[in-house]
């Protein structure tokens, strides 16, 4: 079983997948759509990826504000979570994604990716950061029981 990480945006969804050992996250793709409300194709593509990678759980970035309040994007993310759970039958875990897009931008800048090309990669990199953060937290929790 693998875990899928998603960075849900108004026009794109960044997708990452864990390795089989649930240690590392790798970016897969960025799914684009023409309109924020047009999610049918996006959900269909996510379903294809779930089957292809044998995904057993989804981690969805939850965009809280820096002061820990929930804004408009949180409501849209909760709606998307519900759609994902209904269509996939999988558990969809919300995971704090504050500053992941900023970190993704910084990573791409430091890697020398040109400004005009960054937009195509930032959501996929943010999905990797969301999923890796979740995997690291799970590993830490599992290791806390050891002496």
- Kindly state the DSSP code that residue 65 receives in the 8-state scheme: -
| pLDDT string in tens for the chain (147-residue length) | 999 999 998 889 999 999 999 999 999 999 998 877 789 999 999 999 999 999 999 999 998 877 777 778 889 999 999 999 999 999 999 998 876 766 666 776 677 666 666 666 778 888 999 999 999 999 888 876 554
Q: Name the residue ranges covered by the structural domains of the chain.
A: 2-143
Q: What count of Cα atoms within 13 Å lies in the side-chain half-sphere of residue 111?
A: 13
**Global confidence as pTM:** 0.85
Pair 18, 71: CB distance under 8 Å: no
Q: Which CATH entry fits the domain spanning 2-143: 3.20.20.80, 3.30.420.140, 3.90.1150.10, 3.40.605.10?
A: 3.30.420.140
């Amino acid at each position: 079983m693998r875990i899928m990480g998603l960075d849900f945006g108004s026009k794109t969804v960044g997708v990452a997948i864990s390795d089989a050992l649930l240690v590392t996250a790798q970016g897969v793709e960025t799914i684009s759509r023409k309109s924020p409300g047009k999610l049918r194709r996006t959900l269909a593509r996510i379903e294809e990826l779930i089957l292809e990678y044998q995904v057993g759980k989804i981690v969805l970035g939850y965009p809280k504000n820096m002061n820990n309040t929930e804004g408009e994007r949180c409501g849209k993310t909760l709606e998307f979570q519900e759609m994902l759970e209904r269509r996939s039958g999988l558990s969809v875990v919300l995971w704090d994604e504050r500053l992941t897009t900023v970190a993704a931008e910084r990573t791409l800048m430091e890697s020398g990716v040109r400004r005009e090309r960054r937009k195509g990669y930032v959501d996929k990199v943010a999905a990797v950061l969301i999923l890796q953060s979740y995997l690291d937290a799970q590993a830490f929790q599992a290791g806390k029981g050891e002496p």
